Chain A
Amino acid sequence: MSSFDKSMALTGQPPKALSLTQRISTLVGFSGLAILLLAAFGVDFPNKGLWMSLSILMILGGVIWYTVLSYGQKTKGIKNDGVWFKSISSMGFWGWMAGIAITTFYIVLYFFPEFLGLVKGSKNTGVIALFDPLSRALSGNPASQWFVYGTLYTLAILAFGVKFIWKYRHNRYEIIRTISVMFFQTAFAFIIPEIMARLNGSIPYYDLKNIWPLNYYNFERYRINGFISSGDIGLALLIFGILSVFVISPILTYRYGKRWYCSWVCGCGGLAETAGDAFRQLSDKTIKAWKIERWVVHSIVVFVTLMTTAVIYSYLGNDTSKYWLTKSSFLIGVTLLLTLVFGWAMLFKRKQLQKDAQYGAIGYFIIIIALIGLHQFSGEGNIFLFKSETLRKSYGFLIGSIFSGVIGTGFYPIFGNRVWCRFGCPMAAILGFQQKLFSRFRITTNGGQCISCGNCSTYCEMGIDVRAYAQKGENIVRSSCVGCGICSAVCPRGVLKLENGPLEGRIEANQVLLGNDVDLMDLVNSK
């Protein structure tokens, strides 16, 4: 329909054309990447610290320069001009190229780290060796592929965080939220764990803001042993890990919705909101996508619950005199907790669940309880029909690596920036369950002001059809909403507001919108 075609060229007419200076800034950023690529292909840089710093500075500088060029000349406000004309942001040629490049990177990172220069039991080479000086400075150890990844990840959040802030500089919610994700990534995910490793070698790497089931491995045997053998600090961390699942996150989600985590703290969310911002409009908004999303993400919750239960079960003992928590008391505890949650939702919140959600919940509940019941009949370490080790490995491979990394980030330019958060993240699903049923958070629709334009739905990275609610005058209370606030920002008529308010009247569907005959509204809405 548009006479603009998605050509491969970066040239062309405004608003998709890049100016000369914009092209130079892009070149600077890519040159920074090129240094890393050359190192990966075996170029042995002499002064590693210097070249790594140069690379990082060029990437950072390139992105920030580009940002200033893009938004500096414009008045503040929503600037989505040409988003659907540009090849990179509309699934054109450059979008696919970027998708393939990132996907390749993840495959190498997870499955072929030797290509990055990881040498087991010997000195690193390649791009990993380039990061040795920085790693030594922080933790005292040589770099690993994960250190390189962590550094680049943090760099991406910081560089594109600056871009995001500049783009939304009229919007204080977006500015503060972005500073928050930049801080949590840099401090909690990057610096603190490295320093902790320096201070106390036996503490497992622990990104404090990662909560089970996002860090599905947190309660594995080697980690538990690591925590317990590290004295008070280790024990405190373990207790914090448990509290954050059962106490801290429910309280915060009740008060603020799951956004406190997903778009203020989480690293996956942080990358999606900053580096992934250019792709948020690509998420699928159809009802079909929504149906797939709900089945996939909740199946993963069931998977991770079973897997974790099996793993913990496998290393617990049977003798109460040795340790208070035994195999059977643990299983009874899990069963009790799941029954309580299930019973509460079914008894008190059934009205807010769709029919298929109810069937799904009942089905999964029966499966879990049946499997837990089965443990009596299966051998040691072999509950749920499979070996716990098999479950753990396949979860780590399928969900931990393939879904969250390769697909979750690699497919940003194809499926949008929240593919993982939407279809895969079990943590998001659990927080979402609570957000839907027991939270003060909602997106309020402003009376009858909606003009059905579709900006909110288009720019919703979670694929929520926000407009479908807004044009009915209905508040948006969706479990998947991460509270990024962009729907509200792009709304041209001031219709949407993220807020925390009383539970009463949080969800109300209007047949007739505010503005019409009062009697007619009462008549129709009361049905």
Chain B
Amino acid sequence: MEHIIIIGNGIAGVTAARHIRKHSDRRITIISAETDYFFSRTALMYVYMGHMKFEHIKPYEDHFWAKNHIELVRGYVTRVDPVKKTLTLGNSGDFIYDKLIIATGSKPNKFGWPGQDLGGVQGLYSKQDLDLLESNAPDNQVCKRAVIVGGGLIGIELAEMLSTRNIPVTFLVREKNFWDGVLPDGEAQMINEHIREHHIDLRLQTNLVEIIPDDNGRVKAVGTDKEDTIPCNLVGLTPGVTPNIGFLQDSGIETARGVLVNRYLETSQADIYAIGDCAEQREAIDRRRPIEAVWYTGRMMGETVAQTICGNRIPYNPGHWFNSAKFFDIEYQTYGWVFSNRNKSANELHFHWRHPEEKICVTLAYDKDSRKFLGINTFGIRMRHEVFNRWLNKERTIDHVMEYLVDANFDPEFYQTYERQILDLYNQQMGTQIKPAKKSLKRIFQLG
């Protein structure tokens, strides 16, 4: 029987395993150095915050794997030999594979800062990082202040986590606003305000210069380029992640920042595939980045590679871009493309509405000439994935989206709705006289 080995038990590897099992009875082994069982990486923060225990963030009960004949091996792969088709595990000898899927995810970036390897300096990616954080920052007696470096999703999550234990946080962000490379200015500024509302000491356009040790080799303070020295007991390094592929160095598998793959997720070596955070596309797909360290894309690559492995060779061809996050209390969803002021092209125009008091806003991107709707960022209003997907497929204009925006609303029942205010501002700015459509279940669910 063909033996499929998957390195990494994150969302990409596990999705691949589940789908291979659905389509075939091939032997499947998942190897992980991190944990015995699959868990939701995006949920690690909730364990530290006390919302859940670690067992709650495991999406499948432990008996699931044996029941589905998916073998789990705990160990660290040190070597891959594509010629002999073998893997070497540090502890338990060699494995022979017929097909190999590399799904080893990422590791936190470190940019060579002085002191970046001191005690009390850490990233937040793995289960081990969570355990480390629990010992570095169990409470505000042991950790009197934390400094977070890097204004992205993990940084703000870490800030939220620490603030639940009343640990004072200083948040250093290189750009002029939080997550400024991704969010348009209006939104990024709203998040700045919200971060400060949570008593986080947010310092924009501030860079880390050095991490200063105490006598025991632990962090004592950090120095910034604003000539500040901030005493602290924890430094959270969260300036993004990079593919975790060090073990492939001499394997002969072609790599750049990540493992290079073609559209079929095949690497340079026969019968070896790479998916998820660690894969780097040789050719660009749509306007996506060559490395996408996102839960959803990991899952989609898993779904795709399972087809190929089971004999139906198909390219990785993701649909419209979507993503989501939560910034403290503000939920964020995006459908289609909305680029930041820094990154958007001349033809991409934005319409932005923000609630006068609440932390609620939307930004819709559209094409200057055709008025084609390109995408939406929504903060504090939940929107329907399916409806936006449909509009993007049908290449609707922004006027159409505005007219039917009510269909996309996904907030719980009885919530205040804002379609009217949004449309009023839109009509005013665009000089249009669009009337809002009435919500229709028939349209939403595409019936009749």
Contact residues of A with B, CB < 8 Å?
Answer: 1-4, 13-16, 75-78, 80-86, 170-173, 176, 286-287, 444, 446-449, 451-455, 457-458, 467-468, 471, 485, 488-490, 492-494, 497-499, 501-502, 504-505, 511-520, 523-524
Which one of B94-102, B114-122, B246-254, B293-301 is at the A interface?
B293-301
Known: A454-B59, A501-B441, A511-B22. A2 touches B322 (CB 8 A): no
Question: Given A454-B59, A515-B300: A80 and B11 within 8 A (CB)?
Answer: no
Inter-subunit contact B415/A514 (CB<8 Å): no
Stretch at the interface among B39-47, B204-212, B216-224, B430-438: B39-47
Is the CB–CB distance between B61 and A14 below 8 Å? no
Find A453's partner among B46, B317, B383, B384 (CB 8 Å cutoff): B46
The reply to whether A501 and B445 contact each other, CB–CB distance below 8 Å, is: yes
A449 to chain B, nearest CB (A): 5
Report the separation of the CA atoms of residues A172 and B416 in the bound assembly, to the nearest whole angstrom. Answer: 8
Complex contact B320–A13 (CB within 8 A):
no
Contact A286 B447 (CB under 8 A): no
Q: Does B187 contact A (CB under 8 A)?
A: no
CB neighbours of A444 from chain B (8 A): 410
The 8 closest A-B CB pairs, nearest first, are: A447-B385, A77-B329, A494-B382, A13-B139, A453-B43, A82-B50, A517-B317, A14-B166
A-B CB contact pairs (8 Å), 28 listed: A1-B47, A13-B140, A15-B50, A15-B164, A15-B165, A15-B166, A75-B197, A75-B198, A81-B49, A82-B164, A172-B416, A446-B384, A446-B410, A449-B324, A451-B42, A454-B56, A454-B57, A458-B51, A485-B412, A497-B410, A497-B411, A498-B413, A513-B299, A515-B319, A515-B320, A519-B314, A524-B19, A524-B303
Chain A residues with Cβ below 8 Å from B386 are: 446-447, 514
In angstroms, how far is the closest chain A Cβ from the Cβ of B84? 33
Task: Name B's A-contacting residues (CB within 8 A).
Answer: 11, 19, 22, 40, 42-43, 46-47, 49-54, 56-59, 61, 131, 134-135, 138-141, 164-166, 197-198, 295-296, 299-300, 303-304, 307, 312, 314-320, 322, 324-326, 328-329, 331, 333, 382-386, 389, 410-416, 441-442, 444-445, 447
Find out whether the CB atom of A494 lies under 8 angstroms from the CB atom of B318. no
Kindly list chain B residues whose C-beta atoms are within 8 Å of the C-beta of A518. Answer: 319
A517 contacts which of B57, B166, B318, B416 (Cβ < 8 Å)? B318
> How distant is the Cα of A14 from the Cα of B168 in the complex, in angstroms?
12
The residue on A at minimum CB distance from B48 is A2
Cβ 8 A contact of A494, one of B22, B58, B331, B444: B331
CB-CB under 8 A from A524, the residues of chain B are: 19, 303, 307
CB distance from B311 to the nearest CB of A (A): 13
A513 to B302, CA, bound (A): 12
Q: Are B445 and A502 in contact (CB under 8 A)?
A: yes
Q: How far is the CA of A514 from the CA of B300 in the complex (A)?
A: 9
Contact of A520 among B307, B412, B416 (CB under 8 A): B307
Enumerate chain A residues within 8 angstroms of B296, measured Cβ to Cβ: 448-449, 515
Instruction: Pick from B51, B54, B319, B320 the residue with the most CB of A within 10 Å.
Output: B51
A454 near B40 with CB under 8 A, answer: yes
Are the C-beta atoms of A453 and B57 separated by less than 8 Å? yes
Contact assessment for B56 and A457 in the assembled complex, using a CB-CB cutoff below 8 Å: yes
Given contacts A75-B197, A446-B382, contact A2 B333 (CB under 8 A): no
Bound form: Cα–Cα A511–B20 in Å:
12
Cβ–Cβ < 8 Å partners of A446 in chain B: 382, 384-386, 410
Minimum distance in angstroms from A289 CB to a CB of chain B: 11
Q: Are A14 and B333 also in contact (CB < 8 A) when A454-B59, A501-B441, A515-B322 are?
A: no
Residue of A nearest to B326 (CB): A492
Contact B52 A458 (CB under 8 A): yes
**Distance, CA A504 to CA B385, complexed state (A):** 19
User: At the interface, is chain A mostly helix, strand, loop or mixed?
Assistant: loop
Q: Smallest Cβ distance from B13 to chain A, in angstroms? A: 14
Residue of B with least CB distance to A493: B324
CA distance A97 to B386 in the complex (A): 48
Contact A449 B385 (CB under 8 A): yes
Assess the B413–A173 pair: CB atoms within 8 A. Answer: yes
Residues of B within 8 A of A82 (CB): 49-50, 164
Known pairs A3-B134, A516-B319; A451 contacts B40 (CB<8 A) = yes
Is B61 touching A512 in the complex (CB atoms < 8 A)? no
Q: How far is the CA of A273 from the CA of B88 in the complex (A)?
A: 54
Residue of A467, A488, A492, A494 with most partner-chain B CB within 10 A: A494
* Cross-chain contact B307 with A504 (CB below 8 angstroms): no
Write out the residue numbers on chain A whose beta carbons fall within 8 Å of the beta carbon of B43.
451-455
**Chain A residues within an 8 Å CB radius of B52:** 84, 453-455, 458
Q: How far is the CB of B355 from chain A (nearest CB, A)?
A: 13
List, in ascending order, chain A residues with CB within 8 A of B61's CB: 286-287
Contact in complex: B333, A494 (CB < 8 Å) = yes
A453 touches B40 (CB 8 A): yes
Chain B residues contacting A497 (CB-CB under 8 Å) are 382, 410-412
Q: Are B304 and A514 in contact (CB under 8 A)?
A: no
Among A1, A15, A173, A448, which residue has its beta carbon within 8 angstroms of that of B414? Answer: A173
Q: Are A489 and B412 in contact (CB under 8 A)?
A: yes
Distance, CA A501 to CA B442, complexed state (A): 9
Nearest B residue to A485 via CB reads B412
Q: How far is the CA of A86 from the CA of B164 in the complex (A)?
A: 14
Instruction: State how many angstroms separate the Cβ of A355 from the closest Cβ of chain B.
Output: 17
A55 vs B166: C-alpha distance when bound (angstroms): 35
Give the Cβ gap from B63 to chain A, nearest Cβ, in Å: 9
Distance, CA A92 to CA B197, complexed state (A): 33
B51 adjacent to A83 (CB under 8 Å): yes
What residues on B are CB-neighbors of A471 within 8 Å? 59
A498 partner residues in chain B, CB cutoff 8 A: 412-413
In the assembly, what is the distance between CA of A16 and CA of B49, in Å?
Answer: 10
Contacting residues, chain B, for A505 (C-beta < 8 A): 445, 447
Q: Which residues of B contact A75 (CB under 8 A)?
A: 197-198, 328-329
Cβ–Cβ < 8 Å partners of A2 in chain B: 47, 50, 53, 134
How distant is the Cα of A54 from the Cα of B444 in the complex, in angstroms?
54
- B317 surroundings in chain A (CB, below 8 A): 516-517, 519-520
Indicate if the CB atoms of A447 and B51 lie closer than 8 Å: no
Beta-carbon nearest neighbor of B161 in chain A: A81
Residue pair B322, A517 in contact (C-beta under 8 Å): no
A1–B52 alpha-carbon span in the complex (Å): 12
User: Which residues of chain A come closer than 8 Å to B51, judged between CB atoms?
Assistant: 80-81, 83-84, 455, 458, 490
CB distance from A468 to the nearest CB of B (A): 8
Given contacts A446-B384, A457-B56, A514-B385, contact A3 B138 (CB under 8 A): yes
Task: Tell me the nearest residue of chain B to A76, going by C-beta.
Answer: B329
Contacts of A81 in B (CB 8 A): 49-51, 164
What CA separation (Å) do A78 and B56 show in the bound complex?
18
B165 in complex: contacting residue of A13, A447, A515, CB < 8 Å: A13
Enumerate chain B residues within 8 angstroms of A4, measured Cβ to Cβ: 50, 138
Which A residues are in CB contact (< 8 Å) with B140? 13-14
A467 engages B304 (CB within 8 Å): no
What residues on A are CB-neighbors of B444 within 8 Å?
A: 501
**With contact pairs A494-B382, A505-B445, A516-B318 given, residues A83 and B50 touching in the complex (Cβ less than 8 Å):** yes
**Contact: A1 with B445, CB < 8 Å?**
no
Tell me if A1 and B314 are in contact (CB < 8 A): no
Q: Is the CB of B314 within 8 A of A517?
A: yes
Establish whether residues B324 and A520, one from each chain, have CB atoms under 8 Å apart when the complex forms: no
Closest residue of chain A to B312, judged by CB? Answer: A523
B412 in contact with A455 (CB, 8 Å): no
Given known contacts A15-B165, A83-B51, A516-B303, is B331 in contact with A492 (CB within 8 Å)? Answer: yes
User: Shortest beta-carbon distance, A509 to chain B, in Å?
Assistant: 12
Bound CA–CA A458/B59 (angstroms): 11
Shortest distance from the beta carbon of A462 to any chain B beta carbon, whole Å? 16
Q: A16 contacts which chain B residues (CB < 8 A)?
A: 50
Judging by beta carbons under 8 Å apart, are B304 and A504 in contact?
no
